[in-house]
Amino acid sequence: MTEKTELEKLRILLPHWIEHSHSHQEEFGKWADTAEKEGKTTAASEIKKALKAMADADAALKKALESLGGQVEGHHHHHHH
């Protein structure tokens, strides 16, 4: 039964990780825009690369959650086609 308990924990943790990542992405996007407005194109570009990597990680976490039969809280409308 331990395995089920651990999987239940994972189903609970994954949505929190996704939400946390999403909030950071929003903040990173704002700072990338700020850097760009200040003419710091390299910094803006690197922040955008980090954003892309986080979005990819998000997608992987969502797939992991779905494979465990869970749903992403508050993100039912974000479907990738």
Domain ranges of the chain: 23-66
The owner of tokens 């690369």 is 49
Q: What is the pLDDT of residues 8-53, one digit of tens each?
A: 999 999 999 999 998 899 999 999 999 999 999 999 999 999 999 9
Predicted confidence (pLDDT) per residue in 41-53, tens digit: 999 999 999 999 9
Enumerate the H helices of the chain as residue ranges.
2-37, 41-67
CA 30, CA 34: separation in Å to the nearest integer? Answer: 6
Q: Which phi and psi angles does 80 have, rounded to 5°?
A: -95, 130
Location of structure tokens 């508050």: 74
Helix orientation angle between 41-67 and 2-37, rounded to the nearest 10 degrees: 160
**What is the pTM for the complete model shown?**
0.74
